[in-house]
Amino acid sequence: MAQNVGTTQPVAEALVGLRALTDDGSTLRYENVRRFISPGVVTELHDAIFTKSDGREVRIDICVVIQFDSDGLIMRTDEYLDSRAAQALFK
């Protein structure tokens, strides 16, 4: 999995990182999900909304592009996010 912030990493590592963002009691939900499907590619745009344990809400616009091989297996996943908005998760 590649992101516009950080380095390419295995999906399992990316999931560990995502779970770490809610270890402090924050919750995560997705809103405004839009998917565009074409041969070999699915693009999803969504808002990730974290509600921090102090009640603050952090909204991050995210775009995920998933590429499939001819057998329908995922070859590559790229995630693009508003890194400036994501900084609020660490305040």
> Using 50, 70 and 90 to split pLDDT, how confident is the model at 7?
low
Q: Which residues contact 29 (CB under 8 A, 6 or more apart)?
A: 48, 49, 51
Candidate CATH numbers 2.70.210.12, 3.40.50.2300, 3.10.450.50, 3.30.70.60; the one for domain 2-90: 3.10.450.50
76 closest CA partner among 16, 5, 8: 8
Question: What pLDDT digit, counting tens, does each position of 8-57 carry?
Answer: 777 777 777 767 777 777 899 999 999 999 999 999 999 999 999 899 99
The predicted pLDDT at position 6 comes to 60
* pLDDT tens-place string over residues 72-87: 999 988 889 988 898 8
Q: How far is C-alpha 10 from the geometric centre of its chain's CA atoms? A: 14
Q: Which two tokens stand for residue 7?
A: 């380095």
Band (89; pLDDT cuts 50, 70, 90)? confident
How far apart (Å, rounded) are the C-alpha atoms in residues 50 and 68?
A: 29
Residue with tokens 């660490």: 90
